Amino acid sequence: MRDVYIVGIDMLRFGRFPGKTPGELGAEVALGAMDEAGVSIRDIQALYCGNQFDPVGMIAQDVQKQIGQTGIPSANIKNACATGATTLREAMFLIKAGAADITLAVGCEVMPRGLLGGGEPAAGISTEGLLGSGSMPCVFAEAGHAYARDYGTSFAQFAQVSVKNHWHSTMNPKAMYQKETPLEEVMQAEMIAYPNTKLMCSVNVDGAAAAVLMSEEEVRRRGLMGQAVKIRASALASDPYTPRNLAMWDINTATRMAADKAYEQAGLGPDDIDLVELHDCFATAELLHYENLRLCGVGEAGRMIDTGETRLGGRIPVNVSGGLLSKGHPIAATGIANMYEVVAHLRGTAGARQVEGARLGMTHVVGLGTVAAVHILEKSL
Amino acid sequence: MAIPKSVAPWLVVDAEGRAHVEARRCSVCAAILTAPSLACPSCGARGTLQPFMVTPTGRLHSYSIVHRSFPGVTVPFISVVVDMDDGTVLKGNLRGVAPTPDAICFDMPVRLVFDDAGRQDREGNRYVSYFFEAA
Ligand SMILES: [Zn+2]
């Protein structure tokens, strides 16, 4: 199948947009991505739109009502935290299949406020606080502790993830928060679900990100190879059965499967990757994914954060955007926003946080349920 | 008095109001399952899931101490994932243990206990739940 490129990409600085609809947020970044690609809505042959929380969910059509209703095929996608990545992947496959040359992928979200992952049931009683907690901070704390049980990872090591990512965010004008947080501040912040303190939880914000994709022929025809970034690999995996996954969401196995498939598709290994934007929805999760994405060996994630290998300037910088922890995590926008970050580095336009000489970058998201997406993006020559 | 209802499909309450946890084991691949399913989610076999009563003892696999939860939920509490001695895996609350990291250790032995859930639904039905205590 033919190669597909990201030619234009845009994201909002995530935040709160009271009174705005997901379609309005999505439309803004769709225009930004189209402008960067030098195309108009009349050039777009299909639109895929990701959104998780809107109850009606016809956001692709809402976006078109904002920017141009040209009658193109479009579809709405919902896939938890992998929604944005899945949306872009679908837009990519239409081109790979030869059914289109230019497609648009949009991820946009107006988030429900407060804790996610529990609340009142339609019938019966809530089991929250009775059969443990289904709140996201707790679920990811339990996932982190399962790793700590085997490898002795400490509260301080998990907290160092927030220190690193919050430091990175000070160099990213698109991060919701751009404030350094020393280790003591992270560890002494309000405890939400031990070991995740408030500063170890991703930020609940609204947001949107969009990308214009083109076939290789189209990129060449338009003379856009200089700004184009190749989608070198795209992998998606659901959690296979594992013995504990009825009692705790398994964020590891699906991530490993997607990562291995992506490396295989690209014909690359972890040592070839120059930077990674991975799913740090909670500080406890980031360390697990070092190992899941094969960035380190078994049990080495704690050492990796201790030695600074994943800091900007380190062996393999992770979440130089500030990550979900400081950039924010508007569910359906996150996957495309991760790619926005990697694209900036591959183009050499990431400013103070630029990973020097970046040629290959990886993006990862994992949505509970469970689904994981891994993409490898490559700088055009 | 009415028999209390169960908080989960795998918690069985009999006609006398006595509770136990029931899991199902696949006769083909030996996977152990709590939540109901049409076929075995591990191997896909149909009609192979045999119910059994879960051994009430196990070891703590993972945990979190929950300090912030949803409105109406009393905090702090300890949420635990437990590997039961027969291979079943259950999630629940650990009670009778101080909600501090010093009081909790991985692999500590725990046992299942059954008790009133302390909550009622909109129709006023009572519920029985299971809890873990240090063994
Ligand atoms: Zn089976």
What is the average pLDDT value for chain B, to the nearest integer? Answer: 96
Q: Is B62 on the interface with A (CB under 8 A)?
A: yes
Sequence-distant (6+) residues with CB within 8 A of A55 are none
pTM (2 decimals)?
A: 0.97
Q: Domains of chain B by range and CATH? A: 5-134 (2.40.50)
The predicted structure's pLDDT at residue B17: 86
Q: Tell me the per-residue pLDDT of B117-126, one tens digit each, with 9 for 90 and over.
A: 999 999 999 9
Q: Are A314 and A305 in contact (CB under 8 A)?
A: no
Identity of the residue in B32, B41, B73 whose CB atom sits nearest the CB atom of A128: B73
Task: List chain A domain ranges.
Answer: 4-113+204-222
CA separation for the pair A92, A339 (Å, rounded): 14
The predicted structure's pLDDT at residue A200: 98
CA distances from residue A95 to A45, A104, A219, B57 in whole angstroms, order as listed: 10, 11, 12, 55
Q: How close is the Cα of B47 to the center of ligand 1, in Å? A: 10
Chain-centroid distance, C-alpha A54 = 19
CATH 2.40.50.180 is right for the domain spanning A4-113+204-222: no
Is the ipTM higher than 0.85? The answer is yes
Joined together, the tokens standing for residue A74 give 């479009």
The predicted structure's pLDDT at residue A1: 82
Strands B57-66 and B109-120: antiparallel
- Judging contacts by C-beta atoms under 8 Å, the chain A residues touching residue B42 are 241
Joined together, the tokens standing for residue A348 give 């050499």
Whether B41 and A194 lie within 8 Å, measured CB to CB: no
Q: Is the dihedral of CA A217, A223, A226, A229 positive or negative?
A: negative
Residues 72-131 of B with CB under 8 A from A: 73-75, 77, 79-83, 87, 89-93, 101, 106-107, 117-121, 127, 129-130
Question: Mean pLDDT for each 10-residue chunk of chain A (381 residues)?
Answer: 96 95 98 98 98 94 98 98 98 98 98 73 86 96 98 98 98 96 98 98 96 98 98 97 94 97 98 98 98 98 98 98 97 98 98 98 97 97 73
Smallest Cα distance from B7 to chain A, Å: 7
**Within a 10 A sphere around the Cβ of B53, how many other Cβ atoms?**
11
CA separation for the pair A340, A321 (Å, rounded): 10
Identity of the residue in B74, B80, B120 whose CB atom sits nearest the CB atom of A132: B80
Identity of the residue in A129, A146, A148 whose CB atom sits nearest the CB atom of B73: A129
